[in-house]
Amino acid sequence: MFLRLIRLFKLAGREAAVLWYACRNPATPLFIKIGALLLGVYMVSPIDFIPDALPILGWVDDVTLLAFAIPAILKLVPQAVLGEARAATENRFSRWGFRRTRG
* Residue 101 confidence (pLDDT): 53
- Cβ density class 8-39: b for 16+ within 10 Å, e for less: eebbbebbbbbbebbbebeebeeebbebbeeb
In whole angstroms, give the CA distance from residue 87 to residue 15: 12
How far is CA 44 from each of CA 36, 39, 52, rounded to the nearest angstrom? 13, 9, 11
In whole angstroms, give the CA distance from residue 38 to residue 73: 11
Question: Which of 3-7, 22-26, 47-51, 97-101 is modeled with the greatest confidence?
Answer: 22-26
In whole angstroms, give the CA distance from residue 76 to residue 17: 16
Q: Output the pTM of the full model.
A: 0.76
Mean pLDDT of the region 89-103: 70
